[in-house]
Chain A
Amino acid sequence: MKQYSDLEFLRLSKWQRFCHKLIAFFCAIPRAIANFFKNIGKTVVKFFRKAGAEFKDIGQTFTQGDWRTKTSFLVMGFGNLTHGQILRGIMFLLFEVVFIVYMITTGGYWMSMLPSLGKQGPTTEYDPIYDSYTTVYHDNSFKILLYGVLTIFFIIAFIYTWRTNVKQCKTIDQIIKRGGKLKSDKDDLRSMVDEQFYKTLLALPLTGILVFTVLPIVFMILVAFTNYDGAHNGYANNLFTWVGLDNFNTMLSWQGGAGGTQSYAATFGEILAWTLMWAFLATFTNYFLGMFVAMMINKKGIHLKKVWRTILVMTIAIPQFISLLYVSKMFARNGLINLALLDLGWIKEPLPFWEDATWARVSVVLINIWIGIPHLMLIATGILMNIPADLYESARIDGANAWQQYSKITLPYMLFITGPYLLTSFTGNMNNFNVIYLLTGGAPTNVAASGAAGSVGHTDLLITWLFKITTGAESQYYLASVVGILVFVVVALISLVVYNVLPSIKNEEDFQ
């Protein structure tokens, strides 16, 4: 690869710079991987060194501390309580009591079951009183996995709290030795709305995210390594258990299915290709057409600007499911458009909007333009108004025509500002469930892929496929989970590449 000095680099055209960065990024990958493995060693050493320092600190606190500090090692918060910091002390103590009670009553059971995900499934037993056979339920793999993960979270939180408790004892000892004044409860309460206000503000949102996003995601990642599906639901019929990497092998194997159907890997590749194509088309058609509409409305000498804008903006307000479902039925085989065209005698056969793969794909992209332009128009309008007018003025004086003004001023400006937006909109479109599901439901069916779970269709994105697997007859949650992880990998890779190449990566503080 050609190396440029700084000066040479600045002389390149935009396009050359972009290419240069792109190539540089991919050339750097092998070295980055090598560095990654080199760094693993360093990180391990660093980790142990840090852990050693922690243990040393804990030991020192213990040997140098007085009896109150020493008791705190067992009874958390004791040091705080005896030094008059009642609030902190009670919090520590309460947490310890809750933790111990939880671990003894249930936590221990979940942890012990985690490696096997349950020993005994439901059994049919003879009931002598009613003289009949009844099903008796035993372990519940689902709960074991869920509460097992939760217990691990809890243990980590406990260790962290315990360490904080020890640190606080050390601080107290030091302050007393210096003859300083300890913080009172009143100080603590005041700091909750002042220096530490961010902790108060973040407590609720972060708890929500931890319980309803992080925990489920960790759980679902783990599900990819089990055989959890409709036939092994962990409680009512069979337990599920760990299967290692089997599910990834299934998803990425090239072995064809029964009856000459294609392999999972081929199906996955096909859907991925369409997902990327869709995301690309959906993002850029909307982007350029939205910009075009915004420029038309913004043009000098066009009247009723507000009316045009309001008409488009109004369509944002109407819930998408109404407009999408209505339009989907409008183009259906026996829908308004086909019936009207048949009545007029313009066509003999209904047009296959949703029955033919190519027709369906083109239709979803076109209808998505209809859905997306108003939004893009708004964003583009905001930016276009911010472009300094004197740029155009001087361009006109220099004799630039409309196209030159567009390509040399408007477009670069837009691209620069909306770079990050384009990226999020691209990944958002990759996961655009609503438009695809409400318009086509994935139809028409992809016959070649019938060996794969969840009846794959030609317009299915990975995300709708995931949904279909989940709600399908066999509910192969483990496959859905594998698809989900692969979607994450693809999105993360694209984001990584784009963030490294994009010119408008900026320092966050620059804005403020």
Chain B
Amino acid sequence: MNNTTEKRHMGLKALNRASNTAIYILLILISVIWLIPFVFIVLQSFRVESTYQVGYVIPHQWGLQNYINLWNSDFKRWYLNTFIIALAAAVLTTVIQLCMSYTLSRFRFKMRGPLMRFMLILGMFPGMLTMIILYRVLSDIGLTQANAVPGLILVSVASSGMGYYVSKGFFDTIPKSLDEAARVDGATRLQVLYKIILPLAKPIVIYTILTAFMGPWGDYVFARYVAMGTSAGYNVAVGMYSWLSADQIANWYTTFCAGGVIVAVPVTILFLCLQKYYVEGVTGGAVKG
């Protein structure tokens, strides 16, 4: 190696090191920006000297008063409501979405193309439009206000078939020759599904369960509409939103932070445990649409 190339090489190395350092600084900055609000929530949930918003982050007086307030409020009920909805949605939505996506991926029937186009067009209508009528129908059969939970489950599960895209993308990647081989051996379509496809589809099943479970925790609009001001029918989002209204926030701000911690921690832990499947689902299915 002669002298000039070595120099150039050294130069490149220095440049590379400089750019890496810059990237590290940026990444640390990004991590801080992304995490800081959550750190603030946790810190403020332990502040007991005042319940309204203040201009500092680290509490002057630490304590668990906010969590005790939480326990004494309707929060327990809201939490339970949300948990039931999430659990039911996770099971039922998964079943429905898998039925839908497997069928659209594997079967070729006459109405398949029109059906998919029809659902694409249907998806262009703002879902909020249907809220009014769904509310009136639910209230006619007595599933609103205090009984909002079954109503919310019903509505969210019933139309979940529309969100088949991600898992269909996954099923498309499983070779069709597997199905055909089994069919030649005399297996029915049902047997093909539960003996061959389902074991292979574990990642997408877990992804669907995870997203279906996480959805209801942030569900706000329709949940508020269906509960119509009856606290017993709230989910966490609706209930905690009411704490931040202009006339409540001075008394409930720190309790809101405590509630946020209680809601976020289990969901986040679950999510991090199953992160691998989530990443697979998002990168594999979402892009192909």
Asked whether A213 and B260 contact (CB < 8 A) given A201-B99, A321-B240, A382-B287, the answer is no
Among B73-81, B199-207, B261-269, the stretch in contact with A: B261-269
Main secondary structure on B side of the interface with A = helix
Interface hits, B201-222 → A, CB 8 Å:
214, 217-218, 220-221
CB distance from B242 to the nearest CB of A (A): 11
With a cutoff of 8 Å between Cβ atoms, the chain A residues found around residue B236 in the complex are 319
Which residue in chain A gives the minimum CB-CB distance to B102? A201
Do the beta carbons of B218 and A204 come within 8 Å of each other?
A: no
Residue A329 lies at the interface, judged by CB distance under 8 Å to chain B? yes
Quick one: CB contact mask for B227-247 with A, threshold 8 Å, 1 for yes? 000000000110011001000
CA A492 to CA B123, docked complex, whole Å: 10
Q: Which residues from B are CB-within-8-Å of A444? A: none
Interface check A437, CB cutoff 8 A: yes
A325 CA / B260 CA spacing, docked (Å):
10
A220 touches B133 (CB 8 A): yes
Q: Measured between alpha carbons, how far is A314 from B36 in the docked complex, in Å?
A: 13
* CB <8 Å contact, B132 and A477: yes
Name the contact of B129 in the complex, choosing from A201, A205, A332, A466 (C-beta under 8 A).
A466
Do A297 and B130 form a contact, CB below 8 Å, given A204-B99, A330-B40, A382-B282?
no
Residues of A near B287 (CB, < 8 A) are 379, 382-383, 417-418, 421
A311 within 8 Å of B (CB atoms) = yes
B271 CB-CB contact with A under 8 Å: yes
CA distance A427 to B278 in the complex (A): 23
Q: Are A330 and B128 in contact (CB under 8 A)?
A: no
In the bound complex, CA of A317 to CA of B256 (Å): 18
Whether B190 lies near A208 (C-beta < 8 A) is: no
In the complex formed, the residue of A with least CB distance to B287 is A421
Per the 8 Å Cβ criterion, residues 300-344 of A in contact with B are 301-302, 308, 310-323, 325-327, 329-330, 332, 334-336, 338-343
Contacts of A317 in B (CB 8 A): 214, 264, 267-268, 270-272
A84 to chain B, nearest CB (A): 23
Query: B152 at the A/B interface (Cβ < 8 Å)?
Result: no
Partner of A484, one of B128, B193, B260: B128
B114 contacts A by Cβ under 8 Å: no
Pick from B37, B161, B218: contact of A208, CB under 8 Å: B161
Q: A201-B99, A379-B286 are in contact. Are A326 and B134 (CB under 8 A)?
A: no
Q: Is the CB of B158 within 8 A of A209?
A: yes
> Max chain A CB contacts within 10 Å: which of B31, B121, B133?
B133
Contact A424 B289 (CB under 8 A): yes
B24 (CB) vs chain A CBs: closest residue: A302
Chain B residues closer than 8 Å to A146, beta-carbon distance: 133, 136-137
Q: Report the Cα distance A383→B286, complex, angstroms.
A: 11
- Evaluate contact between B23 and A299: CB separation under 8 angstroms: yes
Q: Which residues of B contact A208 (CB under 8 A)?
A: 96, 157-161
Q: Which of B128, B131, B256, B282 contacts A375 (CB 8 A)?
A: B282
Binary flags per residue of B251-289, CB closer than 8 Å to A gives 1, else 0: 001001100100110011011100100110011101111
With A220-B133, A343-B55 known as contacts, the answer to whether A488 contacts B124 (CB < 8 A) is yes
- Cβ of A194 within 8 Å of any chain B Cβ, yes or no, is yes
B283 to chain A, nearest CB (A): 3
Within 8 A of B (CB), among A119-168: 142, 146
How does the 8 Å CB contact mask read for A258-290 relative to B, with 1 for contact and 0 for none? 000000000000000000000000000000000
A105 within 8 A of B: no
Query: Is B68 an interface residue when CB atoms closer than 8 A count as contact?
Result: no
Distance in Å from the Cβ of A461 to the closest Cβ of chain B?
Answer: 10
Chain B positions within 8 Å of A326 at CB level: 37, 40-41, 256-257, 260
A417 to B284, CA, bound (A): 12
Number of interface residues of B (CB under 8 A): 92
- At the interface, yes or no: A511 with Cβ under 8 Å from chain B? yes
In the complex, what residues of B have CB within 8 A of residue A492's CB? 121, 124
Q: Which of A219, A336, A374 contacts B54 (CB 8 A)?
A: A336
Contacting residues, chain B, for A195 (C-beta < 8 A): 189
Q: Is B38 an interface residue (CB 8 A)?
A: yes
- Identity of the chain B residue whose Cβ is nearest the Cβ of A322 in the assembled complex: B260
Q: Is the CB of A321 within 8 A of B237?
A: yes
Given contacts A318-B38, A321-B220, A322-B264, contact A194 B128 (CB under 8 A): no
**Is B26 part of the binding interface, using a Cβ–Cβ cutoff of 8 Å?**
yes
Q: Which B-chain residue is minimally distant from A289 (CB atoms)?
A: B30
**Contacts A193-B190, A213-B122, A296-B23 given: A311-B130 contact, CB under 8 Å?**
no
A322 adjacent to B41 (CB under 8 Å): yes
Q: Flag if A316 contacts B271 (CB, 8 Å).
A: yes
B:25-75 near A, CB below 8 Å: 26-27, 30-31, 33-35, 37-38, 40-41, 53-57
Closest B residue, CB atoms, query A428:
B123
Q: Is the CB of B41 within 8 A of A212?
A: no
Looking at the assembled complex, report how far the CB atom of B224 sits from the nearest CB atom of chain A, in whole angstroms: 9
A203 CB to closest chain B CB (Å) equals 9
**Complex formed: what's the CA distance from A207 to B270 in Å?**
32
Q: Which of B107, B155, B158, B283 contacts A383 (CB 8 A)?
A: B283
Q: How many angstroms between the C-alpha atoms of A209 and B275 in the bound complex?
A: 30
Interface residue? A50 (CB, 8 A): no
Interface 1/0 per residue, B79-100 and A, CB below 8 Å: 0000000000000000011011
Contacts of A488 in B (CB 8 A): 124-126
Beta-carbon contact of B162 and A213 below 8 Å: yes
Contact B20 A481 (CB under 8 A): no
Whether A325 contacts B240 by the Cβ 8 Å rule is yes
The distance in angstroms between the C-alpha atoms of A209 and B96, with both chains bound, is: 11
Contact of A315 among B38, B102, B121, B220 (CB under 8 A): B38
Please tell me if B249 contacts chain A, counting CB pairs below 8 Å: yes
Interface check A512, CB cutoff 8 A: yes
9 closest cross-chain pairs (CB), A and B: A382-B283, A339-B55, A205-B161, A317-B271, A216-B130, A208-B158, A193-B190, A197-B189, A484-B129
Question: Which A residues fall within an 8 A CB radius of B?
Answer: 142, 146, 190, 193-195, 197-198, 201-202, 204-206, 208-209, 211-214, 216-217, 219-220, 223, 293, 296-297, 299, 301-302, 308, 310-323, 325-327, 329-330, 332, 334-336, 338-343, 370, 373-375, 378-379, 381-383, 417-418, 420-421, 424, 427, 431, 433-434, 437-438, 462-463, 466-467, 470-471, 477, 480-481, 484, 487-488, 491-492, 495, 511-512
A-B contact pairs, 26 of them (CB 8 A): A193-B188, A193-B189, A195-B189, A202-B103, A209-B158, A213-B130, A213-B162, A217-B122, A308-B30, A315-B35, A319-B237, A319-B264, A321-B241, A379-B283, A382-B287, A383-B283, A420-B288, A421-B286, A433-B221, A438-B241, A463-B126, A466-B128, A471-B225, A477-B132, A481-B129, A512-B173
